[in-house]
Each structure stands twice: as structure tokens, then as C-alpha cells.
A and B are shown apart, each in its own frame.
Chain A
């Protein structure tokens, strides 16, 4: 998928000193932002020698990040930080009006417009 959005404010951060190379982030990212790669000098950071993984995760396509937060939530060592939230202007405008955090209201029984509701209906 070649579509890209604004990337200047992206919050994704990977702390390679904590990465143990388990590959969960690669497994869960829906946009192929991460890849497990053999370590390059300087990439393994401060892990004790015995615990240095053979391979570690690297951000290879930062501009595809949509801040869904799956990688950060599933990183057992807390190596990834990503501000999770909906990329939905309707939710942001609703939040501005109500003075709350962005809230699309498509959960529960509320019948509101927008949100990702319609597009992920077809996904697993």
C-alpha cells in the first residue's frame, strides 16, 4: 500500500538497548514498519554481552506508522513507545467540542459517524 500520511509528528520510538529480538512487533505491525535484522555495530546498546540477541528489531518504514499501538502493547520489555489513538478527524473534532480526548463513539451502542468502524468490518 503506497498511501502515506503526515509523518512529522509521529510518536514511534524504539529503544534498542531494551530490544531482545523476539519479533512480536514485526508480527503485529499492520504496515511493515519493523524488521528483524542482524545487529550492526553500535545497535545492541547496553545489554550485557550474554543477553545480546542475535537479531534485533529495526524501524525500516517509519513513515508508514499509523500509531495503532499494537507494537508497544505487545513489547514485553517495553522497548517501544507509540502514542496510540484513532487517526480520525471526526473523533478529534468531537473531542474538541466536548473538551475530552478524541472519542469516536463507535464502540458500545452509540450510533455515531466516522471512526474506523466501516473499513475494518471486512478484516479478521
Chain B
């Protein structure tokens, strides 16, 4: 599966100051092929962390269900008792909150575990030579795993509220793929800065809780100015959230502008984050 040893033997490596500063398309080809070469390791580390997490736990995967279920439960009570007036949503409210939570948790837990991935890897970082992106991807991989095991629960909720999703639900990967790119791009930056300055990790937690309430997860996307601009259009996660609700409940995109913006933003973050990370990689081992 891997490059044969004979091919590697002819390889001459040169380490020089600024040798990683090359520009152009071949840098990106190198970066991608490096990751492809290390896909085995990404998978191993991901499986390692997932199986270690469940090895000594009785409730096991149920822990992944609890957060979204609790949030859903609380807000269903809040809405039904009109403690906070929450407008009508495109699909039954419990399903709406649960979908929102699934997407949001993918984003927030992905970022959090990516941000901690470098510092928690310990001596691995300073002593073994491998592309450090591997650690971030495998950390994000764990939250993808969590996302996947929540799917059966979502189906149960659909059955419970008697909701039949539109066929366009099959297009959901078009939302998840760019969202994952966004998580990867931001995760690289966060992991790197968190390794240098630990304040980043703390700041991230606060920022994420603010961002959660600034995203249409617990309430429908606002329709009036200026809230609709700030919440629906500027926040890239909203673009994906709204598109997800649309694909599941409406069948077409009601706010394709926000979705398009989110996709472009994500791709941009991926390029910026990955490039900076790659440039800084040797410095991280120095400074951690």
C-alpha cells in the first residue's frame, strides 16, 4: 500500500533554513501527498483514541447522545411553556434542535479536540518526525465518529415526531464536506496557536459558547434586519445550518447566498490555515 522502500531509497532530503518556504502548486501537492502517505497513521490514532475512550466506560457511546438530548429536552420544555418565545421552525422543533446540535457539536467539538491535539500528544511531537496535521485530522475524526453514531438517534427522533425528510437529505454531504474543511482549517490554526499560547484554548471555549447562541440552532434563522445579517450571513456556521434544515425540510436552499459564502469562507480558511501550519510546523516542535 505504501511507497515501496526501493523508491524511498533514492530520496535525498535536504534540511536548510527556510527550505519550507517554497511557493506554488507543488507545495500543495507535497502537503496533500504527505497526508495520503500517512493515512494509515491517521486511522490508527483515531481508532486508538476512540477505543481507549470506550474501553473502561459502561455507558460507552451513550455519552455521545446525552449532550444533544439534554439540550433538546431543555429547549423543548422552554418552548412549549413559552418561557422564551421561539418562532416556528421549518421542521418539528425537537428534530430541529437535534439536527442543529449535531451540526454544531461536529463543529465545536471538532475545533476543541483539534485545538488540544498538539499539546496532548506530548513527546510524540518533539521526538518523532511525521506530518503533525495527522494529529489534528485524527482528533477531528473522533468527532466525525460521534456525529455518525448520533444518526440512528436522529432517525428515532424523526419517527417519534412523525417527520418524513425530503429526499434532498441525501445531499447533506455537500454541507458536511465544506464544514469539515472549515473545521480542519480553523483547527490547524487553533492547534498551532494553542501549542504556543495556552490562552487560545480558554478563549476558544468562551468564543464557542457565544457563537452557539449566535447561530440558528435553538431558534429559527431570524428574518429581520439587522439580526438576519449578523446571524445568518456573517456567521459561516449558520450558512451550513440553514442549508441543512433546508435540505431536510424544504427541498431547496432558501438562503443559497449564505451557503455559498460559507463554502468560500471554508475553502479560504483551509488554504490559509494549512499553509501557515505547514510553514510553522518545525517551530512548533521547538517551542512546545
**Do A and B originate from a single complex?**
no
